[in-house]
Structure 1
Amino acid sequence: MVDRYLTKKLEAGGSREAMRRPLEDFAEYCDDHGIDSVDELTSDDVRDYGLAVLREKYIDGEIGGSTANTYFRYVRAFLSFCVRDGRLDTNPADTEAAEEFLPEDTPTRDTQFWEPEQRQRLLEYADERVTMAREDRIDVPVARAYRDRTIVVLLAELGLRGAELFRDPNDDRRDGLRWGDVDLENGRLEVFGKSREYETVGLTDAAHNALSRLEHVHDPPTEDWPLFPTGHAASKYQAVEDAIGERPDSGTDIDTLLREQAIAPPSITKEAGRQVLKQLTEEAGIDVEGGYLKPHGARRALGAELYEQGHSELAQAALRHQSIETTHEAYSDIKAEDVAESIDEVRE
């Protein structure tokens, strides 16, 4: 149905490619939530899509408020087409309730990226925090300090998305990065990418070092063990109950039981990952617009660094963009500056 609509839009002079990815994301969301045809959609379903997908991407810094609202308008236009086509009686996106959780319609240029000084300070503080934890100078478990440092390093070095690192409660296929996804011997890892397929990411020296140290400290008993296990006790108890069919007594050493039974706890969620960065940003004394250094800001910063140095194809590969046009569009402001500088040089 989406393909049919896009073909009609193209014939009518609309921009098919601009609408394709957002509408495919909407179709995937419906499929993942058991909505097999458009006539099953309700206003609540569309509202939940706005909350679970568009608002989450906005919070993660992947898209601006303006873009989130534009994507929602694409969905609403598609569903209007379905009404005209006789597939729906009314448009479930054309209600106030459906738009309830959309972010404020602010320009995409507000999207954050980590400044080099901010990035360096956060990395340095994450290292300092590990040392302080090992020396009992702060009330933070050593394993958690290593966990948090690895989160910072993987974001800063590899430009991974938060949804590729952490569990997404709204997406059953995104259960967080696992040790079975990591191949230290060959220096790479596999992530469940935006394409909804597994993608290979090469490890820089710093990322390899951080993962090696984390593996040594955590000593994961199974390949299914998450890199960033939750500290939420109730979730750990639930994991045991799901695995063996009964809930352990409240006085049980749940961490020991999980290891003895080789039952993997859940990964921390995307929201928990954001809270880690909020805490580290504040403790490191980093002043940043938006309150804290967001996960997607690291990704944008890595791409900008490579793009500014003239390595657009390397930026495309590092960010795993499907086409170089996507990379050019993401950093159109940098490209415009380069063009202006080239004009000045020619005129000289």
Structure 2
Amino acid sequence: MPDPKPQGSTTTAGPPTLQEGLTQFLEAKAKGDDSGNYRRNAKRVISQWIDWLDQRDIESFEQLDETVLAHYAEHLRRRVAANEAETTDGGIARSTAWTYYSTISAFLGWASKWGYLQENYARSGLAQESMPERSASQQSQQQFWTPDQRTQILNYVNKRAHDAIDEKGMDADVEARDRALVAVLAFTGMRASEVFRSEHDNRTGRQGIRWRDVDLEEQTISVLGKNQQRQSAWLLKQAIPAVERYRTISDPPSDDWPVFPTRHAPSLYECARTHLREIEDGNEKSIEAILDENPIEEVLREYCITPPAITTTGARSVMKRLCEAAELDIPTPPEGPGYLQLHGARRGIGDTFYRMDRGTAQDLMRHQSLETTKDHYSHIDATEGAKRASEMLSQSDEQ
């Protein structure tokens, strides 16, 4: 980790306050190729956000978490609702809300890079789900997995898994896991927060899908939907071979086992120690002996300790690694190297089905109304409408 002190003269011995961090952030942007206009807008938006936090007695990076960002997102959503209802002053457009949120996300991404935060909490599932839906123009600009990109990443993980299984047999757990993870993202239309664990959302159903949730015969996965109700997400048959083979190789000891357990060693050891203290009556010496003498995976299975699922952050890291290894050509966004984003898989499969059948797309995406689906893919309607109108005009001119 680089020494953050050169960032600015306001750096203290410990982590900076949010206000000090803003000064460092703006100084860093001034040294780059960002325009002065960007810095002025960023200073205004982030300063307003810091004022909002100050009203809630939050003034340091250590006090931030996913829940704080979710509350801020809800604040923006209320301002959007006020604007659309035209019942009070202080409302903002959807595009403005997302501009504010993206600016805060850039600031937190910078803070995460310098070690002031564990991660960029603005990119968490809980926080983003609390935001209002994007405007149609913004939705059309969001990343989605194109059919070609989907095929490329699937071809890579399929070959990688086949080669590993041929070489290592039942020990090819990582490669089989990665292939199943990509297949579930690509062929279910599920949200990342429905598949993986959220670090700061303790609601039942937000701890990652379990094997009990997966029904391969019925081609469904039971999830906690955005409406806070249990829903049956579709599991297209294209994903089933990868999931089925992965289940055979991973051999989960119970239906409560996460489909995608974390491989983060500190998390696994913390989980094991917590449960072993109950079994060993708090005998720390005995607990450490068990952990020293046995691989952590064997300890979890032998003592029936269910590990935590991989987090959304961990899943993003997996996708970044796979996309880099597969040498996918993906545009690089301002905040870092490009990769196939988790939610881009949902948008991509939705885009594919919307072009074929609107009703099927609605059912796959689990939208409550077709209007919601149309709002998400209005750019397709506009393109198709323009083509039809052009053909009609051409036919009229020929008469």
The verdict on how the C-alpha distance between 1:104 and 1:71 changes in structure 2, with shifts beyond 3 A counting, is farther
| 1:70–1:181 distance in 2 versus 1, CA, 3 Å | closer
Contact in 1 for aligned 2:140/2:377 (Cα 8 Å)? no
Q: Alignment partner for residue 255 of structure 1, among 288, 297, 302?
A: 297
1:278: which partner in 2?
A: 320
Match of 2:345 in 1: 298
Q: Give the Cα–Cα distance (whole angstroms) in 2 for the partners of residues 70 and 332 of structure 1.
A: 24
* Conserved? CA contact 2:261–2:308, under 8 Å: yes
The counterpart of 2:58, out of the listed 36, 41, 44, is 44
* 1:31-84 Cα shifts (integer Å, max 9, x gaps): xxxxxxxxxx82539x9999627979xxxxxxxxxxx998653446899xxxxx
Alpha-carbon distance change, 78 to 188 in structure 1, aligned in 2, over 3 angstroms: closer
Matches for 1:293-332 after TM superposition, within 5 Å = 293-309=340-356, 311-332=357-378
Equivalent residue for 1:162?
192
Q: 1:164 to 1:218 in 2, by over 3 A?
A: same
Q: Would you say 1:144 and 2:174 are equivalent positions?
A: yes
Shift of 1:292: 0.1
Q: Deviations over 1:152-208 (max 9, x none)?
A: 101111111111111001101211111111122332210122112211023221222
1:221 aligns with 2:253: yes
> Paired residue for 1:10?
none
- Tell whether the 8 Å contact from 2:140 to 2:379 is kept in structure 1 after alignment: no
Counterpart in the other structure of 2:387: 341
Give the aligned residue type for 2:262. T
Secondary structure of the residue aligned to 1:190 is strand
SS in 2 for 1:226: coil
Q: Is the 8 A contact 1:55 1:102 kept in 2?
A: no
SS of structure 2 residue aligned to 1:158: coil
For normalisation by structure 1, the TM-score amounts to 0.71
Q: Residue 274 and residue 262 in structure 1: after superposition, are their counterparts in 2 closer, same or farther (change >3 A)?
A: same
Q: By how many angstroms is 1:242 displaced?
A: 2.4
Within-5 A mapping of 1:73-222:
73-75=76-78, 102-103=104-105, 107-136=138-167, 142-173=172-203, 174-222=206-254
How many residues align? The count is 276
**Deviation, structure 1 residue 100:** 10
- Give the conservation status (yes or no) of the 8 Å contact 1:179–1:227: yes
TM-score (ref. length: structure 2): 0.62
State which structure, 1 or 2, has the greater radius of gyration over its C-alpha atoms: 2
Map Cα deviations across residues 282-329 of structure 1 (whole Å, 9 max, x no partner): 1111011241000111111111111122x1111010011111111000
Higher mean C-alpha deviation, range 205-214 or range 118-127: 205-214
Amino acid at match of 1:304: D
Question: Which one is further off, 102-111 or 214-223?
Answer: 102-111
Given that 1:50 and 1:101 are in contact with CA atoms closer than 8 Å, whether structure 2 keeps it comes out as no
CA-atom RMSD in angstroms: 3.4
Which residue identity is paired with 1:102? Answer: I
Q: Which runs of 5+ in 1 are unaligned?
A: 1-40, 57-67, 80-97
Counterpart CA distance in 2 for 1:170 and 1:118 is: 31
- Spell out, residue by residue over 1:139-163, the C-alpha distance to the aligned partner (whole angstroms, 9 max, x if none): xx61011111111101111111111
- Identity across the alignment (%): 34
Contact 2:210 2:257 in 1 (8 A): yes
